[in-house]
Structure 1
Amino acid sequence: MELTAEIAAYRLGNGDPGRLVGEFRRAVLLVPLADETTGGLMSAVSGGIRWLYAFTDEESLGRFAEARGEAGREWPYLSILGARLVDAVVPEVDGPAGIAVNVADEDGAMLFPPVAGIVPDGCAVDLRGDGNGEAA
């Protein structure tokens, strides 16, 4: 099953968390690049977590651009496997980081938080003992 179908099943209460994370890791995601002044990947901070934006296809990215009132500009993006995003990119972020998938899709959005089983253990907030990033 593809990631969007797993997200839909999970949101309906019929999904399996392990299958959802597995599909996320196997999916090729589109991650918009931040503007030239800030560099890196587009993200937002909420609740002390940096959320990297990722989309399952160009249509989902387009809905995000439209929701931001920026559909008329070019949106460069990186195509990356979900596994590479959490295993290689998340550890490079200063502080806790998760992935926000298809955030402009009211019924299709999903957050993959920085917890064990999703991000590497060294980045998982639920495994930290003192709140500063050190493992318990």
Structure 2
Amino acid sequence: MRRFRYHLQKIVDLKSNEKAQAEWILSNALAKLKMEEQSLEQLHATRRSIEELLQESASVKISVAELGVLQDYLQYIDTLIKQKQESLLQAKQDVADKSEQLVSKMKDEKIWLKARDRSFAAFKAEYLRREQLELDEMAAVRFGKT
């Protein structure tokens, strides 16, 4: 049997590589999203601990200056939380964009794989047709000799 050789195999390989690259890019975007989420959670935990300190300050003697510093720090943490929430939204949008790109690359690869499969099916059908012709010819020659 003659070997099947798809004349557009390099394009199929390219599309597979593009899909693999899109998967890698999405993986990086997901890792960044997870880091942003963890960072935001740490900021919330810091904020909760500062609020606890402020509540405890009512029962413990604390200077007005220290109280002001805690209030300023709480406002600073709130600002950081707002910035981190914006970063988190951007990271989520980035993940959505990268997911969309991956889906597009997967569809593109699938189209080229189907084209290769159709080409292989045509090759196989032609091979089987030729083989049948050879068998028919051998049968005709054998029938003619007897």
Calculate the TM-score normalised by the size of structure 1. 0.19
Greater share of residues in helix = 2
Greater share of residues in strand = 1
